[in-house]
């Protein structure tokens, strides 16, 4: 029994030491990056908004579809100093189009599984893309 344990331990150790041989990734150096280039946070936020979050299927950038556009949402949130993350966590009431809140509500079960970091990225993306 003891031997088996030792064998497993050494196998695990070898696994670790093999992994550490990986070469460190080279850092990318961007020279003369343009201001309008997308930041890594923007790209992550966009992926969440259009992919995993599926928000884009109801929220276009500047025209209404099933839900209000991100521009409309952000305009109202800025004017009223709203808290998007609070809304997405169901801690704040809707302020944009409360009559259609039931449609937006269908997302909350899924959104509960998103980390705070992911919600922040989504909110930052919505803000940046609406400017």
Residues binding ligand HEC (CB under 6 A): 53-55, 57-59, 66-68, 73, 84, 87-88, 94-98, 100-101, 103-104, 106-107, 111, 122
CB 83 → ligand HEC: shortest distance, Å? 9
CA separation for the pair 51, 44 (Å, rounded):
10
CB 88 within 8 A of CB 119: yes
CA-to-CA dists, residue 114 to 39, 49, 64, 88, 108, angstroms: 21, 12, 25, 10, 10
Residue with Cβ nearer ligand HEC (13 or 101):
101
CB 90 → ligand HEC: shortest distance, Å? 11
Residue with Cβ nearer ligand HEC (9 or 66):
66
Output the CA torsion 72→57→124→63 (10° steps): -20
Residue with Cβ nearer ligand HEC (46 or 73):
73
Residue with Cβ nearer ligand HEC (38 or 105):
105
């Amino acid at each position: 029994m003891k031997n088996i344990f030792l064998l497993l331990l050494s196998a695990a150790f070898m696994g670790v030491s093999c992994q550490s041989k990986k070469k460190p990734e080279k850092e990318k150096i961007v020279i003369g990056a343009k201001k309008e280039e997308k930041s890594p946070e923007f790209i992550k936020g966009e992926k969440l908004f259009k992919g995993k979050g599926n928000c884009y299927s109801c929220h276009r950038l500047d025209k209404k579809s099933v839900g209000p556009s991100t521009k409309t949402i952000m305009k109202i949130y800025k004017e009223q100093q709203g808290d998007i993350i609070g809304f997405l966590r169901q801690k704040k009431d809707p302020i944009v189009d409360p009559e259609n809140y039931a449609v937006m509500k269908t997302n909350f079960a899924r959104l509960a599984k998103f980390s705070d970091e992911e919600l922040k990225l989504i909110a930052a993306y919505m803000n940046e893309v609406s400017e």
